């Protein structure tokens, strides 16, 4: 009975997370909200942290890594604008606990995820299989090299903040495809948010770039075009 009560409590916490941390803070994509409602975040953190699983903050998952806070995850998924058709192919760089992988599996057709830490990859794969997320493949490797055997990808999501665009990943993005690249904390990124819009920022050379602000973190929205353009609102 105690375990059943705990699961009911976690379900209520998840519903409150979606309502207060996501919808009330501007996440509008109903598919993203539904996915965040369906995926049990507590299953992707150590059991001693279950009662903290639906707080809007990162949590440790081992190997010096964390599971990202829910709002940042939702904001990036919304900006990635996945269509949900069965042929849509997504590359995730940084599997971590597998939580975002599970969300991507509900929002797209096929998910290919690369994780450099073998213990995390094994744990994520085990959890995803147990929870019956079937349209996912995981491998251990250098995420900056992507997964060329399954390229091109309709969308690429990079989990860890970076200061440069990995060329191998851009080469594996389908023409017209979308990529979300976390730049990191605004104060350390070399960018300043445009005061007229939460969707753009200016770099040090005053170039306007499409970004998504999520708290004090911004992520660059990139689309691949045949004429070589990299950055354009998605």
- Residue 30 within a domain: no
Q: Per-residue pLDDT averaged across 107-134, rounded?
A: 98
- Residue 85 within a domain: yes
Q: What is the pTM of this model?
A: 0.83
- Residue 125 within a domain: yes
The domain that contains 192 carries what CATH number? Answer: 3.40.50.150
Q: How many domains does the chain have?
A: 1
- Residue 115 within a domain: yes
- Residue 166 within a domain: yes
Q: By three-state DSSP, how is residue 109 classified?
A: coil
> Out of 4, 9, 52, 68, which one is annotated catalytic?
68
Cα angle for residues 64, 66, 72 (degrees, 5° grid)? 150
Q: pLDDT digit string (tens) for 206-222? A: 344 444 444 444 556 66
What is the domain range of residue 206? 69-223
Tell whether the model's pLDDT for residue 4 goes beyond 80: no
- Residue 104 within a domain: yes
Cα angle for residues 180, 69, 129 (degrees, 5° grid)? 80
Q: pLDDT digit string (tens) for 6-24? A: 778 999 999 999 999 999 9
The whole-number pLDDT of residue 186 equals: 40
Q: Which residues are bridge partners to 220 per DSSP?
A: 181, 211
Tell whether the model's pLDDT for residue 173 goes beyond 70: yes
Question: 197 an active-site residue?
Answer: no
């Amino acid at each position: 009975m105690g375990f059943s009560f705990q699961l009911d409590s976690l379900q209520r916490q998840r519903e409150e997370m979606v309502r207060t941390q996501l919808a009330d803070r501007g996440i509008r994509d109903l598919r993203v909200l539904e996915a965040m409602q369906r995926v049990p975040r507590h299953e992707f953190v150590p059991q001693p942290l279950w009662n903290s699983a639906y707080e809007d903050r990162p949590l440790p998952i081992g190997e010096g890594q964390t599971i990202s806070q829910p709002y940042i995850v939702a904001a990036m998924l919304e900006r990635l604008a996945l269509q949900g058709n069965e042929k849509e192919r997504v590359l995730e760089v940084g599997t971590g606990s597998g939580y975002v992988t599970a969300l991507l599996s509900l929002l797209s057709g096929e998910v290919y995820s690369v994780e450099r830490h073998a213990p995390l990859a094994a744990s994520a794969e085990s959890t995803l299989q147990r929870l019956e997320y079937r349209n996912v493949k995981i491998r251990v490797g250098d995420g900056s090299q992507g997964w060329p055997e399954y390229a091109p990808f309709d969308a690429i999501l990079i989990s860890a903040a970076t200061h440069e665009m990995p060329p191998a990943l851009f080469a594996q993005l389908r023409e017209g495809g979308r990529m979300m690249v976390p730049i990191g904390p605004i104060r350390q990124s070399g960018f300043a948010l445009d005061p007229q819009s939460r969707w753009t920022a200016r770099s040090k050379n005053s170039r306007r770039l499409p970004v998504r602000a999520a708290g004090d973190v911004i992520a660059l929205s990139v689309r691949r075009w045949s004429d070589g353009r990299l950055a354009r609102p998605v």
